[in-house]
Amino acid sequence: MRVAAIQLEPAIADVAANLDACERLADSAARAGADWVVLPEFFSTGIAFEPELARAAMAPDGAALQMLQAVATRHRITIGGSFLCRDGDGEARNAFMLVLPDGSVAGRHDKDLPTMWENSFYVGGHDDGVIDADGVTVGAALCWELMRTQTVRRLRGRVDLVVGGSGWWSIPLWQPTALSRRIERRNASLANTVAERFARFVGAPVVHAANAGRIECALPLAPGVRYRGRLEGGAVIADGDGRVLARRTSREGPGFAIADVVPRRVAPRDEPPDRFWLHRRQLTAAASWYAHRLHGRRHYARHARGLPPLALERRRPASALQNDQKAPAHRRVAR
């Protein structure tokens, strides 16, 4: 099959603009021959520590899913991505929906553990992330799920294809600058290689969509301090041995990576370690993970739980009817 991993520059909490941008990019990928299209994590909102996100979660059958269904049926393709979803119990979740060419929903995966300040906007899920898509067994994994051993254990040897995406932010250049530069080099290296390394642990091709661009927002636990950084990692497609078939770097902006893959499980190349994280975390990153998690859970309970879902009427953008030239494909075949 030919698969495309979308790269989006999101407008934080501007759901209408993001859905229009995603539809244009997905249409372009389908016209380039993609049978499957994968959108990034939080494709409807982006992610930052901004209070508007609390009210940007949509109902499971709301405008985000309707956009996926419109693209799927228009081009007769399979398409998926994750968005902030407000369920009937009043809880928001980071829900990945996979939609088949007839517009039906093949399945849903809720990200298991929110990452750092994400805890302020949704709660984790408990499913195994395995979805049957017309005979292709798909594993869904979002952002730092690709960083955890428990994700490998639920998908390893069980899936023919892994799909998902990230909203992975950079480490700012703070004092002491030598330390922050070193931490960011490690962070960027992980963001740039996590998808292909995950393929080696699971033994299946990985289609990894991404958010890109610069973001600025408040910083939890630091009143008056602004976070200024960028989203990194890029859109990547890798085979089951971890060989990169196509990549679009974060600095290349909106667009997509596209390549042909064979959806099948192979013998995993790497053994997962006997610990929580697949890749060792530095002390600063580990401390931030736990501190932001505790803060975020309290923030979510006070400011986000039980809000009504965002009601947004979907109108297909006129530009989606045209042959969009603003999002060229970027394909790089590994040699």
Domains of the chain in sequence order: 2-307 (3.60.110.10)
User: Do 60 and 87 touch, CB atoms closer than 8 A?
Assistant: yes
pLDDT at 283: 76
d(CA 64, CA 118): 19
Q: Specify whether the CB–CB gap between 216 and 226 falls below 8 A.
A: yes
Coil, strand or helix: which one is 250?
A: helix
Confidence at residue 316, expressed as pLDDT on a 0 to 100 scale:
59
Whole-number pLDDT of residue 328: 45
* DSSP assignment of 18-55: HHHHHHHHHHHHHHTT-SEEEPPTTTTT---S-GGGGG
Instruction: Please report, in tens digits, the pLDDT of each residue of the chain (335 residues total).
Output: 999 999 999 999 999 999 999 999 999 999 999 999 999 999 999 999 999 999 999 999 999 999 999 999 999 999 999 999 999 999 999 999 999 999 999 999 999 999 999 999 999 999 999 999 999 999 999 999 999 999 999 999 999 999 999 999 998 888 888 888 998 999 999 999 999 999 999 999 999 999 999 999 999 988 889 999 999 999 999 999 999 999 999 999 999 999 999 999 999 999 999 999 999 887 777 788 889 999 999 999 999 999 999 998 766 554 454 544 344 444 443 32
Cα–Cα separations (whole angstroms), residue 307 to 38, 57, 115, 252:
28, 9, 21, 37
The answer to whether 103 touches 73, Cβ cutoff 8 Å, is yes
Cα 56 to Cα 68: distance, rounded to the nearest angstrom: 17
Phi, psi (rounded to 5 degrees) for 207: -115, 110
In whole angstroms, give the CA distance from residue 136 to residue 309.
Answer: 32
pLDDT at 174: 84
First to last CA, the chain: 20
DSSP-derived secondary structure letter, 272: P
d(CA 293, CA 213): 24
Coil vs helix vs strand at 164: strand
* Structure-block tokens of residue 273: 């370690």
